Structure 1
């Protein structure tokens, strides 16, 4: 079923009748199948919707942390673009700055989103790249806000560079300094998440758990890359792979590896669909949200797939909020599963194949 923002877009389908358009970070791939034969390109920062759209729709699809006209077949500026409202306000600011450079002077830049997600407050952000931002439609508890892009206003700002939106921070991880690069919209942005801290405390530099780790290790849902980078930095015997559904997270993890002079591979993947290796150890602070909505199935599917891709006698370690129902899933899937640490907020689980 189409998301409410996509339903509002289809209600305004006449927008696409003239010129070239971009749909940016649509929350569902089906919107492309409902649109007629317009000149539309899908721009994605999330690999799951990107792959679905690439496999099922007739339109060009691009997956990247940031976008430029070199990625587009015609390399011509868009007449308009519609951005699906992200959860993080700073991510929206970044997307507006990026897309404003790809839309021609006088073209339209629009934001679509649910009222409860904050669509009513986006006009001020759009007015940084054009004048007289206004709501052109509202229905299904959503709004569609538009501004006419002014090349003169866009030119007053420096050329878009995703790195200028990034933040470098150095954290003490079990007494070891680690520099982390983060971007808006990525888990762990500007903070050392306390759940991740608790998880990494189980892998102190002189601990048997860290020293005995070897072979292929997966950091699933890597975010800023702090878990995988720390493990690889502290144990030269392992080969680290990181994966995340977000192109922004992939970019952050690559930067974090470089900042710490650590080698590793980073893969964009919906769950573990693009992760083709088998592993001796899997470690994760897995997500339980899809956008603003709680979604337990993400971790449940990950646990099942991680078991399939873990070698005999391999292990899994995850941290989860205490209210999340993962104990039974782990016990039903793995040969042995136990709670290593329990606080008033988090549980650290360990499971063995």
Structure 2
């Protein structure tokens, strides 16, 4: 298996939702998750607002003229309520349930929720459960590319809530050591296998330094697992934790506080706008952006690591085994595979 092309396949569900924009009542609110990166945006219209928890998506929306609320999907309580809410359902069930609950709460009676997705995204189930809460029947229509749009006209105030795994709260997911995460973070209830393999190789990686690194970056940090585990071996270290997901950084802050990690935590897309130099970079780069496979993401993270490192600095990456990281890392003086296991490999890059 080879790494996928850097281009995205069109998301037909998102295309169907964009068609819905032209007829939806305003004010219109749009919950824009990471899948929005998959294709060009329609032009913004008057009396629209968009909400995202990812800074790269917020940048795309702003460039297209959309007013954007960047954060953990916290909706304004003092704003004019929307008559329409549009949402291409996300990959994570808890987030979908949370946003449906938010939409049904903020919409007035008579307002409409428009959900887009495919059958295997759970679109039909989401739509029927949402409709049942507000005395409605979901109107589900098939569009090209096996996409569906479900429209729920709010007939009454919600009779309850869809279970959202206590979305708004940061939760302890492990006790030895204590780790905290929350819904809306990739793999929020588990320890990622690739990240765990990277941590296993830390002693070998650190042994390659003439002096233990004092400044490190957790690049694409998520809830901060790698930094927590590495900081235990480097108690005097200073850290930069960065991710494009505002939700993830809420949990990263919590983990750094709990473990007393000296950390600067920054919301940035692949460390854009951040500068070094740092002694070391640790990275488990994302392989997917939304529902699409994004081959160029690995290249972006390699370039960011090289830029952030001091001369003679070193980076430790974990990637899927089939990604030719050693070939991609031509910016670096050397690349050494330290481990391969369960479909992952850990590679040390020396500047």
Tell me, which stretches of 5 or more residues in structure 2 are unaligned?
Answer: 1-7
Q: Alignment partner of 1:337: what SS?
A: strand
The verdict on how the C-alpha distance between 1:157 and 1:136 changes in structure 2, with shifts beyond 3 A counting, is: closer
Q: Deviations over 1:74-125 (max 9, x none)?
A: 7222222111211112221122223333323332222112344332332244
Superposed structure 1 runs of 4+ greater than 6 Å apart: 155-161
Question: Are 1:78 and 1:107, in contact at CA under 8 Å, matched by a contact in 2?
Answer: yes
Give 2:215's aligned residue: 216
- Cα gap change, 1:199/1:336 in structure 2, threshold over 3 Å: closer, same or farther? same
Instruction: Compare relative contact order (CA 8 Å, sep 6+) and give the higher one, 1 or 2.
Output: 2
Distance 1:115 1:123, change over 3 A: same
- Corresponding position: 1:42 with 2:50: yes
Instruction: Determine which of 46, 52, 61 is the counterpart of 1:53.
Output: 61
Q: How far 1:277 sits from its partner (Å)?
A: 3.3
Q: Residues 126-152 of structure 1, C-alpha deviation per residue, up to 9 Å, x if partnerless? A: 136423241343212211112234663
Which residue in the other structure is 2:5 paired with? none
For residues 280-320 of structure 1, give each alpha carbon's deviation from its aligned partner in whole angstroms, at most 9, with x where no partner exists.
21101111112232222101121022112211011100111
Query: Helix, strand or coil for the counterpart of 1:301?
Result: helix
1:22 has 2:29 as partner: yes
Q: Which runs of no fewer than 5 residues in structure 1 stay unpaired?
A: 172-176
Q: Does 1:237 align with 2:236?
A: yes
CA distance in 2, matches of 1:132, 1:99: 14
Shift in CA distance, 234/143, structure 1 to aligned 2, threshold 3 Å: same
Alpha-carbon distance in 2 for matches of 1:161, 1:89: 12
Match for residue 174 of structure 1? none
Structure 1 residue 43, shift from structure 2 partner: 0.5
CA distance in 1, matches of 2:332, 2:51: 39
Distance in 1 (CA, whole Å) between partners of 2:334 and 2:255 is 33
Equivalent position of 1:118 in the other structure = 122
Q: Tell whether 2:105 aligns with 1:106.
A: no
Q: Which residue of 1 aligns with 2:226?
A: 227
Q: Is 2:289 aligned against 1:284?
A: no
Q: Secondary structure in 1 aligned to 2:136? A: strand
1:87-166 matched pairs, under 5 angstroms: 87-127=91-131, 129-140=133-144, 141-149=146-154, 152-153=157-158, 162-164=167-169, 166=170
Q: Answer whether contact 1:203 1:209 (CA < 8 A) is retained.
A: no
Please give the alpha-carbon distance, in whole angstroms, between the structure 2 residues aligned to 1:90 and 1:156: 12
- With the length of structure 1 as denominator, give the TM-score of the two structures: 0.85
Distance (whole Å) between structure 1 residues aligned to residue 188 and residue 164 of structure 2: 23
Query: How far 1:3 moved relative to its partner?
Result: 4.0
SS of the residue 1:190 aligns to: coil
* More displaced 10-residue stretch of structure 1: 103-112 or 192-201: 103-112
